[in-house]
Structure 1
Amino acid sequence: MTNLKLVTISGSLRKGSYNRMLLAEAVEAFGPADVTEADIDLPLYNGDVEAASGVPAAVQTLAQQIKDADAVVISAPEYNKGISGVLKNALDWISRVEGAAFKDKPTVVLSAAAGRTGGETAQFMTLSCLTQLQARLMPGTSILIAAAMNAFDDTGKLKDEMSRKLLATRMQALRAEVA
């Protein structure tokens, strides 16, 4: 039996980000899979650059990884009450690739943020962008990890049992959808 293919996208480039920790927890809860961690450290979208040079190879690779995946999990940090610039930039670039990478792709969005709402505004904005990209957004309880700097232990594991259970429920529903 072939493993399911899962792509994870962290809206934070920082290696030790709480959103990367949250994605690691999501991958564990999803279960056995071939996991690709997307690289969204991309040049800023510029229509003139696209017209002169085309879509960068890194963007084409990212779009192909999404197309080839069975499902996508995105963790969206909140910066100044909005979506992170790198995540929005990646989604803008992906929209420029032929073939609608996200079209009908089962997708879950999670958030971890320092604030009290756990990234709720960024998650809402990310979901809005993904709707335009025609992703198949999986319904379920929002995973919003507030005060993220206190939410993970020294090994990167979520401390709160209820958050772990909610995340496991979301990931098992995603797995059931694509299995």
Structure 2
Amino acid sequence: MPDKIKVLGIVGSLRKNSYNRLLLLNAKSLLPEDATLEIFDRLGEFPLFNQDLENDPPQIVKEFKKKIRESDAILIATPEYNYSIPGVLKNALDWAARPYGDNPFEGKPVAIMSASIGMLGGARAQYHLRQVLVYLNTITINKPEVFVSFAHKKFDEKGNLVDEEAKKYIAELLRNLVNTARLLKHQYGLIRA
């Protein structure tokens, strides 16, 4: 059996009971069997990005970049703040991509999902995040788009996702992410051989 694909989940919210954190927790049970998911939810520990410090970043940034490098794929779950991505997520992405030439996201497959109490489910945040990911030169999984709208109605009191339609789309997104990561890993292995 091939090695398991390592997926790093990034929570774009600091809120303890964030619906996006719950999405990632629920994604663990929807993963293909040949994958694992580790959740990184320490974005609140990052200082604001300061280019003066990019060559010797804080330890939390070094840890984040190491986890990105060690993963085969990335799964980001983010809310939408003011029609865009939360500042804490953008800050972490800015730290990770610096200094120029030291971008651990380069060539990584990345999938996005979002949950919101509103009708659009975080759609505008995802579109802005996709723009950032273009600069980071990721391989963004385009389909299916996962927007969990009216999120306060989609989870039970224990944090379990109870929306079967959402589960179906998340499982499909995860399959596409893992399959892409597996393909890239195989191709990279052929190139290096």
TM over 0.5: yes
Equivalence for 2:77:
75
Q: Is the 8 A contact 1:26 1:167 kept in 2?
A: yes
Contact conserved, 1:76 with 1:126, CA < 8 A, in 2?
no
More moved, 150-159 vs 163-172 = 150-159
Structure 2 unaligned runs (5+)?
Answer: 183-193
Give the equivalent residue in structure 2 for 1:36.
Answer: 38
Q: How does 1:13-92 map to 2 (within 5 A)?
A: 13-32=14-33, 33-38=35-40, 39-41=42-44, 42-48=46-52, 50=53, 54-92=56-94
Measured on the aligned residues, the alpha-carbon RMSD in Å equals 1.7
Deviations 1:87-112 (A, max 9, x none): 01101111114531111101101011
In the aligned structure 2, how far is the partner of 1:107 from the partner of 1:34? 15
Residue 83 of structure 1 aligns to a residue whose secondary structure is coil
The share of aligned pairs that are identical, in percent, is: 36
Structure 2 equivalent of residue 145 of structure 1: 148
Q: Secondary structure at the match of 2:165?
A: helix
The offset of 1:34, in angstroms, is: 3.9
Return 5+ residue gaps in structure 1 as ranges: none
Structure 1 Cα separation of the partners of residues 153 and 61 of structure 2: 34
Deviations 1:128-159 (A, max 9, x none): 11111011101202100111111111222222
How far apart, in 1, do the equivalents of 2:162 and 2:39 lie?
Answer: 23
Partners of 1:92 and 1:99 in 2: CA distance: 11
Q: Is the 8 A contact 1:4 1:34 kept in 2?
A: yes
Q: 2:129 aligns with which of 115, 126, 129?
A: 126
**Inter-partner Cα distance in structure 2 for 1:146 and 1:35:** 23
The SS at the match of 2:167 is helix
Secondary structure at 1:82 match in 2: coil
Correspondence list, 1:89-108, <5 A = 89-97=91-99, 98-108=101-111
**Contact 1:8-1:74 at 8 Å conserved across structures:** yes
Q: Could you tell me the TM-score, scaled by structure 2's length?
A: 0.85
Alignment pair present for 1:116 and 2:119 = yes
In structure 2, C-alpha distance between the alignment counterparts of 1:141 and 1:150, rounded to whole Å: 21
Indicate whether 1:169 and 2:172 are aligned: yes
